[in-house]
Structure 1
Amino acid sequence: MTTKGHSTMGSTPEHYKRLGIRKNDIKPWEDGYRTKDVKGTYEWWYFDSQMDDGSTLVIVFYSNKWTLAPKKGPTPQVTFALHTADGQEFSETMEMPFSSFEAAVDHCRVKIEDCLFEGDLHEYHIRFNNGKIEANVRLAGNVPSWRPETGYFYFGDQEQHYFAWLPSVPEGRVEAEVKVEGKTLTYTGTGYHDHNWGNISMMSIIRHWYWGRAKIGRYQTISSYISGEKKFGDNKFPIFMLAKDGEIIADDAVSFLHFWEEDPYTDSQTGQTFYNRLLYDYNDGRQHYRVTYQRERDIEFHQASASLSKPLQLLAKVIRLDGVYIRFTGMATIECFDGSHVVESVSGPAIWELTSKI
């Protein structure tokens, strides 16, 4: 019998049956439109990339604003963020009426005005065009689609609330062309695409959430550590996937992952303590790997209450519905151990993020 404090990762045979999916068998429709205009839901399709020259490009399509799940109808958005290797930043947000939003349910095809996100779990075309910036991206997967168990995290006494996550392309090759300020920029690099949806505000169920991914040499990794809200049991959800040469070799984070933070710093905007270094240590007795993320700079920062009036900002803090979203860039290192000895160590650029209440 469940309680009000109940939360769990969907992993039982009943969960799989309820959702109509199978373990380790992902179908194209799972990357299609999942919430289907249901009131109070949100959904997004996310793409990020690290280019060979050091630039980063992030494009996200939303059926609804990500910070809350409004009781009114969806508010579609597309966001674009390009940070070039020479220090230029181009950031755009398109917020459109729901009449501009189109999405397929049998595969990933999301269209908002002249922006398109389409693919089949292997190859994707992403287009952003708001009249000022036009970008066309091709993403070809090197690692098969993956999810932690069902990909659903359930909250509530009847598991009536959920947040779901599908890493459709854990890592892939990127080719991109961006037209901005009269110039055409061309890029190649490594990229990632995932898909998220839910029916309750993330700020209501999740207190703290790290997520990161990297391609380093022959390795590709996804790592996350989620801390649920106290009213749902204050549970921790470790998530980890490590692939080598495109083959997944480790992903049982619940049994074998240890996570910790190092090197605290005080954020100048919020006065809160965050961490420069995150470590994910996976040891199943047969293989032992450690992934370390070392922060260099923030490439995106949002505070949930920033758009509210001063009185509402204060209220958000008092009732603990205020939060931050930070996207970091830096270096990730993957170490392979034999006993206590490091027998392989490789490093490369990475993107990771933090969502946290303050």
Structure 2
Amino acid sequence: MWSNISLYACLHFAAGVLDVHSTVEFRSGQTGLDGMKVFPSNDTTVDWWYFDVVSWDHKSEIVITFYTAGAAFNQSGTPNMAEDVRIGTIGNGSSGEYQGVGDWLGSSDMSQYVVRLDSPSNGIFGEIILKSVAPPHLPCTDDLSAGGDLLLAPGVGWVNVMPDADASVYFNWSGTVVEFSGTGYHDKNWGNVPMGSTFRSWYWGHGRAGPYSVVWFDFLAVDGTEYKSSYVARDGKILNAACEGIKVRPFGANSTYPPTTTTGSPSGFNIELLVQSNDG
């Protein structure tokens, strides 16, 4: 294992879209929870599957995003365009094949995902294996039954498939072997409007502290409305999954709130969570 390699990688794989009318789902139960939510994609919609892993020593990180999106989707970097895309569901889990770049396969109960890359244009091939240690949730609840609200904010849907996972990473990157293990994560977002038009700021994070798994969102819409989502699990049991009981604010450098278009990344965040203990 090459524990001395310091790596940060962020890879985006995209599929082209058609200029047509789309149907967008914001209620659970119509399709698999981690499946497609936009039918079909058009120039102003986006539908994406996000995966990341951070090594135990915090020296290595990899982020992979597969998505279908039009020209109005604002994102950093230049995506790698797939030649052909096939996305399906297996129970509530999903699978996707982006020909020429990679694929992923999730179990029907969303407890395990394997993400594989075979991208000659990037000189990279290998895989990530994620095994969940915390149950999935929606923006405001851990109730996954049909009819649940999937809206994180107006026009933006979200499902947190793997709030926390044990993960292993192995890649060969242009002849250099990169191998590590750590904490993993998987969610999906989608929207029926250009994503950059929906928010002024978007604070999001996840992590593990001892037996606790934490995920948080603090989304400030263009009209100044604040939308929040919080999640805390302990030893794999959910303590809190709600759109209340949380406050996130930046501190240190660049801590202006609300942030402006020129505000840089803050030194960190103060996160206040109201959580009920399940002891006893």
Query: Normalised by the shorter chain, which TM-score bucket?
Result: 0.7 to 0.9
2:253 equivalent in structure 1 = 264
2:51 is aligned with 1:47 = yes
CA contact (8 A) 1:34 1:105 kept: no
2:240 equivalent in structure 1 = 250
Match of 1:187 among 180, 183, 191: 180
- How far the C-alpha of 1:135 sits from its partner, in A, is 2.1
1:237 equivalent in structure 2 = 227
2:65 is aligned with 1:60 = yes
1:141 equivalent in structure 2 = 132
- How far the C-alpha of 1:36 sits from its partner, in A, is 2.7
Q: TM-score, normalised by structure 2?
A: 0.74
Match of 1:178 among 148, 164, 171: 171
Match of 1:101 among 67, 85, 93: 85
- How far the C-alpha of 1:259 sits from its partner, in A, is 2.5
CA distance in 2, matches of 1:246, 1:176: 22
Residues 134/240 of structure 1: CA separation in 2 closer, same or farther (3 Å cut): same
2:27 is aligned with 1:19 = yes
**Percent of paired sites with the same residue:** 21
- How far the C-alpha of 1:93 sits from its partner, in A, is 4.2
Which one-letter code corresponds to 1:104 in the other structure? Answer: G
Query: What SS does structure 1 have at the residue aligned with 2:72?
Result: coil
CA distance in 1, matches of 2:62, 2:26: 37
Greater share of residues in helix: 1
2:106 equivalent in structure 1 = 119
2:270 equivalent in structure 1 = 279
1:36 equivalent in structure 2 = 39
Q: TM-score, normalised by structure 1?
A: 0.59
1:6 equivalent in structure 2 = none
CA contact (8 A) 2:28 2:150 kept: no
Higher relative contact order (CA 8 A, sep 6+): 2
| Structure 1: stretches of 5+ with no match in the other structure | 1-16, 22-26, 71-76, 80-90, 156-161, 288-358
Residues 68/199 of structure 1: CA separation in 2 closer, same or farther (3 Å cut): same
Residues 44/179 of structure 1: CA separation in 2 closer, same or farther (3 Å cut): same
Which one-letter code corresponds to 1:19 in the other structure? Answer: R
Residues 272/20 of structure 1: CA separation in 2 closer, same or farther (3 Å cut): closer
- How far the C-alpha of 1:271 sits from its partner, in A, is 5.0
- How far the C-alpha of 1:238 sits from its partner, in A, is 1.4
1:14 equivalent in structure 2 = none
Residues 29/229 of structure 1: CA separation in 2 closer, same or farther (3 Å cut): same
- How far the C-alpha of 1:182 sits from its partner, in A, is 1.7
Residues 181/274 of structure 1: CA separation in 2 closer, same or farther (3 Å cut): closer
> What CA RMSD, in Å, does the superposition of the two structures yield over aligned residues?
2.9
- After TM superposition, what 4+ stretches of structure 1 lie above 4 angstroms from structure 2? none
2:3 equivalent in structure 1 = none
2:119 equivalent in structure 1 = 130
Query: What SS does structure 2 have at the residue aligned with 1:29?
Result: coil
